[in-house]
Structure 1
Amino acid sequence: MSGPDPAPTDPPAPGRVRITSPLTSAPAHVRRSVRQEIDETSGVGEVYVRSLVRTQLRAALTVVSTVLLTVGVLPLAFALSDDLSEARLFGVPLPWLVLGVGVYPGLILLGVLYVRFATRAERDFAALVEAQEDP
């Protein structure tokens, strides 16, 4: 005959148990690069792009206002001043020389300065994006 059934064995006691907060067991934040932010047009990417566009707009408005204040005022100055409108240089009326010839070097200079500024802004933006990409 058989004796009494052996007592059920308890499972072995577990070793060391680590209890953590659900917040610490969440996956670590995955850092996205600025390039990804811009490509996906996320909020952060929009801030970067808006900053670049704002910088370029500021440069364009500076050039436009400079042209309006210099070239736009010249005809008014010639119209209001009889001495300027009647003056001649090498037999050619001064307003014709100033508006027909003298304005262009200033416009070219403004164009060169604008292109230089816009190029620098884009280069700085690209450097910022590259610097943020490398951890």
Structure 2
Amino acid sequence: MTRVRVTAPRSVNAGAARAGTVNAGSIPPDSTALAGGRSAAAAREAAEESDAGQLFIRSLIRSQLRLGLVVALGFLLILLAFPLLLGLVPGLAESTIAGLPFDWVLLGAGIYPVIGLSAWLYVRTAARNEARYRDLAGEQ
């Protein structure tokens, strides 16, 4: 049995695309065909190879990177605010809730909603960025 390393999805052979045929296994049979025998995947690849397509892809990558950095920085700022809150408010670190120290309750139970909210905002905004890319690139 031979080991095979898959590094990228198969693409349409340029000569076969011009002739209206594709390599077996390169594009799923349920793809919608476009005019001239080209599939939706082949049209997307051609759009990505153009100057405008490259610009759209770079813009998407930059917006996703910016989003990731903003969410991570916001999360870190909130996480760092907890010790500041405990240090600046007198007596807060010594108080207890149901026999547990307040700082443990704050970090143990208070951080999970922040993590969930950060994740939800990230996924929602990343999906919006990708939808904008698809609109700009003309994909359906």
Structure with the greater relative contact order (CA < 8 A, sep ≥ 6): 1 or 2? 1
Identity %: 37
> 2-side partners of 1:60 and 1:118: how far apart?
9
Relative to the length of structure 2, the TM-score reads 0.60
Q: Cα RMSD between the aligned structures?
A: 2.3
| Matched residue SS, 1:86 | coil
Give the length in aligned residue pairs. Answer: 98
Matched, 1:51 2:59: yes
Point out 4+ residue stretches in structure 1 off by more than 4 angstroms.
Answer: 79-82
> 2-side partners of 1:112 and 1:77: how far apart?
25
Aligned AA (1:63): V
Unaligned runs of 5+ in 1: 1-32
Partner of 1:118: 126
Relative to the length of structure 1, the TM-score reads 0.62
Partner of 2:109: 101
Larger Rg: 1
Query: What is the CA deviation profile of residues 5-46 of structure 1, one whole-angstrom value per residue up to 9, with x for unaligned ones?
Result: xxxxxxxxxxxxxxxxxxxxxxxxxxxx885241x2x44332
Aligned residues of 2:96 and 2:102 also touching (Cα < 8 A): yes
Aligned residues of 1:60 and 1:114 also touching (Cα < 8 A): yes
Equivalent positions of 1:2-81 (< 5 A) are 36-38=46-48, 40=49, 42-79=50-87, 81=89
Shift of 1:62: 1.3
